[in-house]
Amino acid sequence: MAPVMFGVSRREVLVTGAVSAALSSFPAEAHPAGGEAGPPAMPVSFKVNGTSHALTLDTRTTLLDALREHLHLTGTKKGCDHGQCGACTVIVNGERINACLSLAVQHEGDDVTTVEGLGTPERLHPMQAAFVKHDGYQCGYCTPGQICSAVSVLQEIRRGVPSHVQSDITAAPQPTNIEMRERMSGNICRCGAYSNIAEAMAEVAGERA
Ligand code: FES
Ligand code: FES
């Protein structure tokens, strides 16, 4: 005889689980048990590049999609959408994150900076200017995330955030070439201008590459 758990047989548990899984795969509008109810939505407010925004979003919306699809800030790119490429890197409260791995509703009250907020064509951010000078630009997908990462990397070094390439983890990290390369390793496609990007970052940091 099948084991009984809390008065419910194992078979009944398995059948209930299978039915739940099947129901959850229906779109919300056609959900046989959900009537006309739409997907769950929540209000969220945050600043992007100094401007406050109040949105009501499907709770499954990533920060990346909120930026691109709702605020039309398309400088932040969707490469892999899986946290692998770094194309979606933005700076949140002074720290870089992959916007594709973060739900927008988690960012209530946050301060988000995208590549559009770093500089303008007339007034480039020093990192953007250094990328131009050192020929660090790659394709339009990779470069915005690389620039946001590069800006954030120098802030991490100034704050003393350690990395895997430090021989002495207790010493303050230095903006050396190997540190730049290690810390930029989350932005995977930088093969074309790998050394140029490190040189641009070193210039902004005031060090030699
Ligand atoms: Fe986010 Fe690739 S799009 S890491
Ligand atoms: Fe953008 Fe390689 S895919 S530089």
Q: Which ligand is nearest the CA of 77, by number?
A: 1
User: Each residue of 66-76: pLDDT tens digit?
Assistant: 999 999 999 99
* Ordered per-residue pLDDT tens for the chain, 209 residues: 344 444 445 555 444 444 444 444 444 444 445 557 788 999 999 999 999 999 999 999 999 999 999 999 999 999 999 999 999 999 999 999 999 999 999 999 999 999 999 999 999 999 999 999 999 999 999 999 999 999 999 999 999 999 999 888 889 999 998 999 999 999 998 778 889 999 999 999 986 54
DSSP per-residue codes, 154-201: HHHHHHT---TT-S-TTSPP---HHHHHHHTTTS---STTHHHHHHHH
Q: Find out whether the beta carbon of 87 lies less than 6 Å from any atom of ligand 1.
A: yes
User: Each residue of 78-128: pLDDT tens digit?
Assistant: 999 999 999 999 999 999 999 999 999 999 999 999 999 999 999 999 999
Give the chain's domains with CATH numbers: 41-118 (3.10.20.30), 126-205 (1.10.150.120)
Which of 85, 139, 146, 149 to mutate to test ligand 2, by most ligand atoms within 8 A of the CB atom? Answer: 139
Q: Which ligand is nearest the CA of 142, by number?
A: 2
Find the angle CA(17)-CA(19)-CA(21) to the nearest 5 degrees: 70
